[in-house]
Amino acid sequence: MSNWVVGKVIEVNWWTPSLFSIKVAADIEPFKAGQFTKLGLEIGSKKVARAYSFVNSPSDPLLEFFLIEVEDGALSSKLAQLVTGDDIWINTKPSGYFVLDEVPKADTLWMLSTGTAIGPFLSILADGKLWRSYRRVILVHGVRHNTDLCYQDPIKATEKLFPQFTYVQLVSRETPENGLQGRITDIISNGQLLQYCNINQFTEAHHFMLCGNPDMVKDTTAMLQDMGFKKHRRAESGHITVEQYW
């Protein structure tokens, strides 16, 4: 219990009927962009907690989290009922190694995400330190529907400020209003991703950060390994850094 404090919900923003974000004021230890912590609520006679990535920059005084309300979810359905002023438990010790300190420098950084797993990438972009290490940064966000493409304002602002940044909208279940259609593995295998980004081929000078549902992470990792890339580890530098999002 010593690692938990009570935070105060400052803002709740509903993006779609199932996607929402909350901003929380809480006194926790400093975190690095790309890390996560646990949020919890007293439900019945026990605390129910789950891990969620920070969306905000580490310099932002308010802590922001991007969530999806899962039908009959033990915690998410309760988090979806929060309003401004409510209390929420938050773990004071951030965790995780999905941070730029753990990623080797490269010419091009690919950020491949699905759903709410865009969260840690938004934090990394907001932090702004990545521009020192990469000549080109490409964020791919795979969703089911166009309306699921949240956080458009800060992403578009990043595009305007940094010409070396490319944002790829990817929609799988309907015709995209912008960007590409399909899944991440589809647009890698059929060459559409490279063509969209005006890049000839994936090379040893590229690094891939993957964050999303387990199937995407597993399948995309396997595809990249078949192309000759290898997982990055502290003991042995590689090209693929992954984060399983649930």
Give the amino acid at 165: F
Whole-structure pTM value: 0.95
Degrees, nearest 5: CA angle 127-133-134: 100
Cα 191 from Cα 144, distance rounded (Å): 20
> In tens digits, what is the pLDDT along the chain, a chain of 246 residues?
579 999 999 999 999 999 999 999 999 999 999 999 999 999 988 999 999 999 999 999 999 999 999 988 889 999 999 999 999 999 999 999 999 999 999 999 999 999 999 999 999 999 999 998 999 999 999 999 999 999 999 999 999 999 999 999 999 999 999 999 999 999 999 999 999 999 999 999 999 999 999 999 999 999 999 999 999 998 889 999 998 766
CB within 8 A of 25, min separation 6: which ones? Answer: 7, 8, 10, 61, 62, 63
Structure tokens at 131: 């521009």
Cα 12 from Cα 18, distance rounded (Å): 13
Structure tokens at 181: 């259609």
Cα 116 from Cα 207, distance rounded (Å): 21
Name residue 108's beta-bridge partners: 136, 206
